[in-house]
Chains A and B, each alone.
Chain A
Amino acid sequence: MSNSTVTHQSSVCYHCGDKLPAVKLNYDEKDFCCVGCQSVYQILAENNMCNYYAYNDAPGQRIKDEGHFEYLDEPSIITQLINYKDKENSMVTFYVPAIHCSSCIWLLEHLYKINPSIFSSRIDFLKKEVTISYKHERVSLRQVVEVLNQIGYEPLISLQDVVKEKGNSVNKQLIWKIAIAGFCMGNVMLFSFPEYFGLSALEKEFQYLFAWLNLAFCIPVTFYCSKEYFTSAIASLKQKHINLDTPLALIIAVLFVRTAISTIFNTGPGFGDTLTGLVFLLLMGKWVKQRTYHHISFDRDYRSYFPIAITSLKDNREKPVAISEIAVGDRLLIRNGELVPADSILMKGDAWLDMSFVTGEAEPQQKVLGEIVYAGGRQMGEAIELEVIKPASQSYLTGLWNKEFYKTDFKKRNFNDSIAKYFSMGVFLIAFAAAAYWLWMDDGTKAWSAFTAVVIVACPCVLALSTPFTLSAILSVFDKKGFYVKNTDAVEQLADLDTVVFDKTGTLTSTQNSEIRFTGELTTNERLLVASLLYNSSHPLSRQVLKVINPSKIYAITNYNEVVGKGIMGQVDGCMVYAGSMRGLPFEVGSVISKENGGVHIMIDGMYKGCFSVEQRWRDGIAPLINHLNEAYDLKVLSGDTNKDEQLLKAVFKPTTVMLFNQSPHQKLEAIKNLQISKKKVMMLGDGLNDAGALKQADFGVAITDNINNFTPGCDAILSGNSLSLLPKFIQLSKDGLKTIKISFAIATFYNLIGIYYAVQGTLYPLVAAVLMPISTITIISFTSLATRYFAKRNKLTP
């Protein structure tokens, strides 16, 4: 018992760790902030699972409203979700965003204590995934999800789950190749060492064996591990241009042929050590480049925003139907807080749609019967009925993703590919010149050996290695500061921009630091009345306002009535109190009302008292950021909102800055495209689905979010809101990174020139090649990592 008092701090909720409100719940000698937290505790206590609280203090999360999971009873949806099924058991994998600590792992891996039919559950912590096996005859998929929901771990089941691609297998094949190349390299090195140290007469008899063994190890390396280089080189030659893989493939081929010839004709040691070492290092570079963040998805589109099923009405009976199966003419039932999945016509009910995700506009829009309702709107209010006029995949919103022209028009070329052409030409020139010279001197063998030696020595492997190593080092500096870039190619794009376009809502402003402000007057007692009323509501706005008021006591309430999406009212301490949106006001109040439409309006005993409104605040450090960027970049603002903040923005931006308001997602996309047509390299910063098209079209799209695990649209990088002010430093570091790559290229050229000096004379001994290559590689890799560290320090991105 003494143990529990030590870990238990009474000022915060025992379950979720939030600060306790003045009125708290007490159960089992523990304090809870809300009924939700208490009920989770009760479930866990009943099942002897209080261990959950032993590993971490207050590991829980506040749970949201009860979800509707009827659709999980549909066999067609079940088969889409589960990974595996046999006679008795089913296995399913869910993405659970709430997973964040070791207690979560413990709890979710002991689900069998709650329901023994869920016999196994395994967590992949970094991916925030849980794989559950259950007996489907005793427990349904819906029940499994409901268990998860009850304990506060609601899985995110979206349309994208159904169509998720298994991107892992490609990476696995690369690891196979690296393993084989590494294995062969180690063995070839072992058999080459005697050669390096010189062989005595007695050991000469082994030379033959070692050479053949080396050749045998080179075969899988050439024909399996480096297959991709050959296919890529052939493909690019067919298109009549040269990429970096072309000279690499040539070198691998030359190395193999020379090794094979010298082995078969017993003309001395081959280049087996160089070949296997080269391929191994190249594959390592590729692996470094492919490494990516497990927990962040950059390829989200509307599908991860859409639910997987929706309620349809057939013959006046509710039936869940998969989004993909929605057909024109179907009747849909959209409840409060649910999303309209397809363009449709309003048939019944009072539609107030929050289109903020689509248009960026904060105010909900009212629709009248017979009007078209576009996909992506969220219903705020009573349930409505719609008739579908377009299937989900062809709606106005999803049209943003179906456009074919994205990016492919503006083919990105990185430093490597652009220099590979000149590099290869230079190498060929020297190689042919050396061969021609020796042929003219009538020395055919020397010509052949000089030609091959030049090709071998002038290996662009440094190019293939320095880029991924430098850029991935930069990526890891970025991600410590809350800037997650999709891949190394994107870092190169970041260095090469000249225009920055901002979205306003959610990008320049923050939804998290929003301030609750009250216009009007309330006495202390009236504040208590309002708080007592709000105490009964689980609406997020009610909770926010309640937090601001922080009442010392709560009155009992009678005649409580909640009109979903409009407001709440009830009899508190003898007064009739109403709190809610303006359109839900129970009485006509006429002109008293302020202009503000949103927010929580308060009425007590028929008297309008005022309004709690949520004000979005500008993010910290906006002004210095804009000042800094103004020097080197063209800035623009594209906002989906009205121009009410134009004056404020004008004060921060240069007066000449172009600002466009009331922009639809398609207009934003067009604006970016027009900039690109006038040869601008555009960076777009946005946050919502309404920016999704523009983010995708931009040369570098950055999605800004306050919580990395929240939904972000598809983009090149995700930036945490707190790090926005660091943006100029990020850009500077990426430029420094490119500089590092160029310097390392110069160093590599220096090494190559030494090698070529021997190579053109036709006297390149394999030992020289075998020593030169690792030395230059080690120099380059250590140079790039040191330089990156230095630049990161200079930009004050690392301590």
Chain B
Amino acid sequence: MNILYFLIGCSVLVALVFLGAFFWALKNGQHDDVYTPSVRILFDDEVKSNAEDKSDINHISD
């Protein structure tokens, strides 16, 4: 059963690592803005190239 001492120590250590990770994220400003990134990720490259093509065509048709 002495292995439990080791396991308990490990579990506390792992928990501390996660706490540290949370503080790092907090300090890094990852929780400052929780809305904009959800929109930002939807701007995909495909639409972009389409739009560029579109405007190019428009210029030609001028």
Contact = CB atoms under 8 A, between A and B. Distances in A.
Looking at B12, B40, B51, B57, the one whose CB has the most chain A CB atoms below 10 A away is B51
Nearest to A99: B36
A3 B58 contact: no
Contacts of B35: 125-126
Given A209-B5, A213-B12, A183 B39 contact: no
B41 to A, nearest CB: 11
Contact-residue size bin, chain A (C-beta under 8 Å from the other chain):
35 or more
B3 to A, nearest CB: 12
A175 interface: yes
A429 to B, nearest CB: 41
A172 B29 CA distance: 10
A45 B23 contact: no
A45 B33 contact: no
B57 to A, nearest CB: 6
A126 B32 CA distance: 10
Contact of B26 (A45, A109, A172): A172
Given A29-B58, A125-B36, A126-B33, A50 B15 contact: no
Contacts of B10: none
Nearest to B39: A102
Interface in A17-34: 28-29
Interface in A97-124: 102, 105-106, 109, 122-124
A1 interface: yes
Contact of B8 (A28, A54, A122, A209): A209
Nearest to A123: B36
A105 B33 contact: no
A45 B61 CA distance: 14
Interface string B10-22: 0110010001001
A213 B12 CA distance: 10
A557 to B, nearest CB: 28
A105 B39 contact: yes
Contacts of B4: 206
Nearest to B55: A50
A597 interface: no
A125 B39 contact: yes
B1 A202 contact: yes
A205 B39 CA distance: 54
A179 B22 contact: yes
Contacts of A205: 1
A293 interface: no
A102 B31 CA distance: 20
A4 B12 contact: no
A103 to B, nearest CB: 10
Interface in B21-59: 22-23, 26, 31-33, 35-36, 39-40, 42-43, 47-48, 50-52, 54-55, 57-59
7 contacts: A50-B54, A55-B43, A102-B42, A125-B33, A179-B22, A187-B12, A187-B15
Nearest 9 pairs between A and B by C-beta?
Answer: A51-B51, A125-B36, A124-B33, A50-B55, A102-B39, A183-B19, A54-B51, A125-B35, A126-B35
Interface of A: 1, 3-4, 28-29, 45, 48, 50-51, 54-55, 102, 105-106, 109, 122-127, 168, 172, 175-176, 179-180, 183, 186-187, 190, 202, 205-206, 209, 213
